[in-house]
Each structure stands twice: as structure tokens, then as C-alpha cells.
């Protein structure tokens, strides 16, 4: 039923393989007789058979252009997949996977499946000895995902068509981690608890774009007995590389120290100007309020006295801080150490990338065992 797995390590492209073109991030399944035609050229699929993954392939004349033929990975699939919903991207996926402790051979629940971006990563992480139980209630999305997982050979993914908030997770059991990307995860949490292993600490993560959703999720997690509840947001901060050809390239540690000193000095100077302007403004306002003018001789003298006294302590603090910082920089560097061949980076101040808040929590075995015992005693009471 399943095609061969898309996560293989073969070096050479065969018919039926999924290949990703790096240049326009599109995927194709190599089908003899078919052609790929885009602004990078025209390629008959048969011409790709026998090429090594990673090859830069030039289009046959008269078309100019080339493509890079890449072996699929979950990362590339996330960038090239057809979107049927909003999807998870790698910064969130990798963080969630790490925090949930998803491991080779593990059993994990995911709901909803959506476009299958997260599913592909989970499938690779748990590997052939693990299992991903994925749930989707939207019929066309469920069918499309089913077809896709089969054609990608994701044999360790069991996809079910089910409303998990209303009907729970069917017969799922022995699960170590649950990931919920749903509009109302708090409705699915009591059902998810029943699937978790009672012999280890298990984990849950709920992915929600709004804080209102987070609050509902947190209060349900609390009332159901989860611990270690915390919410985080993954943001992206890029680092710019300082290139050697740059006129500002810093070639020695002493030049780094000099540049830090100059930066600190500029900051202190700016702050001093700001404080001076603020003082002048406050003085003018006071004069207007009191109806006095600084041109009156007694008042003028008083203002001058104020000014003489008034080296603001904040300025002194700043200068002292600057000196301390410069001493600190100088203490931990050998001034003549050369930084040649060292790559220097500078973080951009902007942080991008809010997609959602991630709420994590753990469930301790005794809570699950108590819940099972309570369930059994209520059953026997009814009987």
C-alpha cells in the first residue's frame, strides 16, 4: 500500500522518488513520461533518473537555467508542501520536539493533522520503531493527508478521521507526548490524559495564537492535575556576519575593545544631552508656573547655583559604569590577540516570527494512576 519512504539515504535518483528543487522549492515525484517546466527551464523526469541527489542540473537547450535536485527531508517538505491550513515551521517544530522529549521508538499524538508539516518531522524523529497517531476531523484534509502519507511511505503514521474534542482519541494508549494544534485544545486535554503512559512522566504541548486561548488551556491543565506548566513564544533573531572585506571588519581584540568604548561613550553623551534638555524644560515649566523669570537678578543667581550643584548623579553613574565596562572588556582580552579567521556576528535588534504561543506541561504517573482508580471505582459503583 505504501510507497517507499521519502526518508531514505540513497545517493541516486530513481523512478518514483520524491525530489525537491532547491531553486523554487517545489517537489516532484519522478514519473517517466512527465515533464517539469518552469522559469528555471524544462526537464523531462527521465533525465533526472540516475542523477545524484545534490546535483546542479542544467536545462537542455534552448532553455537557460538550472535546478538543484535535493533529497527530501521534513525541513524541505515544510518549505515546499501544498498548504491546506496554516502550518508549523521549523523553529517551532524543533523546539516542540525537543521539549516534548519525542524520541526514536516513542509514541506520540498529534491533532489536528492540517497540512502534515509537523507530521513529517514527528515521523522521522520516532523512526520505524515508533508511532505517530495523527487526528484530523475535516474530511477532505483527512483524505488528502492520507494519500500524501501513503505516497511518502510514512508507515509509522496512523491517521484517523475524528473530532478529538468531542470523541477523544479512540483506542490510543501508551502515549508519551501529545501535541495539540487545534482552536480549542482545552476541550481535548481531558481525552488526551486517558492515552498517556501511567508509568512515566508524560508531556503535552498546546499551540495557540492568542493569549485568551492560552489562559483557557492553562486553567484546564491545572484542573486536570498537570504540573510544570509554562508558556513560551519562539521568535527569530538573525545575526549579521561581519565580513572580512567590510571596511568595519574588526581584526584584533583591541579594535573590538576600542569600538565598544566608542559605542559606550556615544551612549553616555547622548544620555547627558537628553538629561540637560529635560532639566531645562522642567526649569522653564517651573518658571512659567511660579511667574518668575530667570532674567530677575536674584532668580538668575539661584538658577546658576542650581546649575553648578546640579551635575546629575545619573550622569556620574553612567560614566562610572562606562569605565567599569571598559575595564571589564580590557580584563578579559589580550589586547593584541588577532581575530583573523574568526567570524564575527552582530544580532539584529528586531525579533520576528510570532506564529503562536506554546504551552507545555507534564503529567506525573501518580495523577494518571489516581484518575484510573477513580474511573474504575465509579464504574463499579454504577454496576
Closest of 85, 104, 105, 92 to residue 179, by C-alpha:
92
Q: Does 178 participate in binding ligand SAM (rule CB under 6 A)?
A: no
Pick the closer one to ligand SAM by CB: 48 or 111.
111
Answer for which of 21, 59, 97, 117 binds ligand SAM (CB under 6 A) is 117
Pick the closer one to ligand SAM by CB: 89 or 329.
89
Query: What distance in Å separates the CA atoms of residue 66 and residue 21, rounded to the nearest whole number?
Result: 10
Query: What distance in Å separates the CA atoms of residue 158 and residue 167, rounded to the nearest whole number?
Result: 17
Q: Does 135 participate in binding ligand SAM (rule CB under 6 A)?
A: yes
Pick the closer one to ligand SAM by CB: 111 or 371.
111
Q: Does 74 participate in binding ligand SAM (rule CB under 6 A)?
A: no
Answer for which of 26, 38, 163, 330 binds ligand SAM (CB under 6 A) is 163
Q: Does 170 participate in binding ligand SAM (rule CB under 6 A)?
A: no
Specify the stretch interacting with ligand SAM by CB under 6 A; choose among 30-38, 80-88, 248-256, 308-316.
80-88
290 Cβ contact partners less than 8 Å away, ≥ 6 residues apart? none
Minimum CB distance to ligand SAM, residue 141 (Å): 5
Backbone torsions φ then ψ of 170, nearest 5 degrees? 60, -130
Q: Does 159 participate in binding ligand SAM (rule CB under 6 A)?
A: no
Pick the closer one to ligand SAM by CB: 136 or 264.
136
The cell numbers describing 173, all together, are 494508549
Instruction: Note whether 18 and 27 are within 8 A (CB).
Output: yes
Pick the closer one to ligand SAM by CB: 112 or 130.
112
Q: Does 182 participate in binding ligand SAM (rule CB under 6 A)?
A: yes
Q: Does 118 participate in binding ligand SAM (rule CB under 6 A)?
A: yes
Q: Does 357 participate in binding ligand SAM (rule CB under 6 A)?
A: no
Cis (ω within 30 of 0) for the bond into 50? no
Specify the stretch interacting with ligand SAM by CB under 6 A; choose among 43-51, 84-92, 250-258, 351-359.
84-92
Q: Does 72 participate in binding ligand SAM (rule CB under 6 A)?
A: no
Pick the closer one to ligand SAM by CB: 22 or 144.
144
Q: Does 165 participate in binding ligand SAM (rule CB under 6 A)?
A: yes
Binding to ligand SAM (CB under 6 A) within 244-303 occurs at none
Q: Does 18 participate in binding ligand SAM (rule CB under 6 A)?
A: no
Answer for which of 164, 178, 221, 234 binds ligand SAM (CB under 6 A) is 164
How would you classify residue 278: left for phi > 0, otherwise alpha for psi between -120 and 50, otherwise beta? alpha
Q: Does 181 participate in binding ligand SAM (rule CB under 6 A)?
A: yes
Four-CA torsion 61, 64, 70, 76, nearest 10 degrees: -140
Minimum CB distance to ligand SAM, residue 148 (Å): 11
The cell numbers describing 138, all together, are 475535516
The crossing angle, in degrees rounded to 10, of helices 253-290 and 313-332 is 170
- Using DSSP's 3-state secondary structure scheme, residue 137 falls into coil
Q: Does 76 participate in binding ligand SAM (rule CB under 6 A)?
A: no
Interface with ligand SAM (CB under 6 A), residue total 22
Minimum CB distance to ligand SAM, residue 167 (Å): 8
The cell numbers describing 130, all together, are 515508533
Backbone torsions φ then ψ of 381, nearest 5 degrees? -65, -40
Minimum CB distance to ligand SAM, residue 371 (Å): 22
Closest of 291, 312, 292 to residue 303, by C-alpha:
292
Query: What distance in Å separates the CA atoms of residue 343 and residue 246, rounded to the nearest whole number?
Result: 12
314 Cβ contact partners less than 8 Å away, ≥ 6 residues apart? 271, 275
Q: How open is the CA angle 129-133-138, to the nearest 5 degrees?
A: 150
Write out the residues near ligand SAM by the rule CB under 6 A.
85-88, 111-112, 114-118, 135-138, 141, 163-165, 181-183
Amino acid at each position: 500500500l505504501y510507497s517507499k519512504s521519502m526518508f531514505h539515504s540513497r545517493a541516486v535518483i530513481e523512478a518514483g522518488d520524491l525530489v525537491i528543487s532547491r531553486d523554487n522549492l517545489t517537489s516532484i515525484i519522478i514519473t517517466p513520461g512527465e515533464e517539469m517546466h518552469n522559469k528555471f527551464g524544462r526537464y523531462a523526469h527521465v533525465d533526472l533518473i540516475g542523477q545524484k541527489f545534490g546535483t546542479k542540473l542544467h536545462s537542455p537547450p534552448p532553455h537557460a537555467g538550472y535546478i538543484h535536485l535535493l533529497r527530501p527531508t521534513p525541513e524541505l517538505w515544510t518549505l515546499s508542501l501544498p498548504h491546506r491550513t496554516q502550518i508549523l515551521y521549523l523553529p517551532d517544530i524543533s523546539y516542540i520536539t525537543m521539549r516534548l522529549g519525542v524520541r526514536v521508538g516513542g509514541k506520540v499524538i498529534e491533532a489536528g493533522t492540517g497540512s502534515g508539516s509537523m507530521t513529517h518531522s514527528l515521523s522521522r524523529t520516532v523512526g520505524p520503531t515508533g508511532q505517530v497517531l495523527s487526528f484530523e476531523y475535516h474530511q477532505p484534509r483527512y483524505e488528502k493527508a492520507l494519500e500524501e502519507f501513503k505516497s511518502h511511505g510514512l508507515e509509522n503514521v496512523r491517521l484517523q478521521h475524528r473530532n478529538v474534542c468531542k470523541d477523544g482519541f479512540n483506542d490510543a494508549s501508551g502515549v508519551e507526548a501529545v501535541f495539540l494544534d487545534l482552536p480549542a485544545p482545552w476541550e481535548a486535554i481531558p481525552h488526551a490524559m486517558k492515552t498517556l503512559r501511567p508509568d512515566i512522566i508524560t508531556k503535552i504541548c498546546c499551540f495557540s495564537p492568542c493569549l485568551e486561548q492560552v489562559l483557557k488551556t492553562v486553567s484546564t491543565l491545572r484542573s486536570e492535575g498537570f504540573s510544570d506548566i509554562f508558556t513560551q513564544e519562539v521568535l527569530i533573531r538573525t545575526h549579521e556576519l561581519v565580513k572580512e572585506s567590510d571596511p568595519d571588519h574588526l581584526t584584533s581584540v583591541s579594535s573590538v575593545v576600542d569600538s565598544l568604548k566608542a559605542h559606550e561613550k556615544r551612549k553616555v553623551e547622548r544620555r547627558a544631552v537628553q538629561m540637560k534638555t529635560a532639566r531645562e524644560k522642567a526649569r522653564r515649566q517651573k518658571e512659567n508656573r511660579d511667574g518668575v523669570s530667570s532674567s530677575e537678578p536674584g532668580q538668575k543667581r539661584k538658577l546658576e547655583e542650581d546649575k553648578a550643584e546640579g551635575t546629575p548623579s545619573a550622569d556620574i553613574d553612567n560614566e562610572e559604569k562606562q569605565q567599569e565596562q571598559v575595564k571589564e572588556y580590557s580584563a578579559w582580552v589580550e589586547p593584541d590577540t588577532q581575530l583573523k579567521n574568526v567570524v564575527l556576528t552582530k544580532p539584529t535588534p528586531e525579533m520576528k516570527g510570532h506564529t503562536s504561543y506554546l504551552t507545555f506541561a507534564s503529567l506525573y504517573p501518580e495523577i494518571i494512576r489516581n484518575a484510573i482508580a477513580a474511573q474504575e471505582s465509579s464504574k463499579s459503583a454504577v454496576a
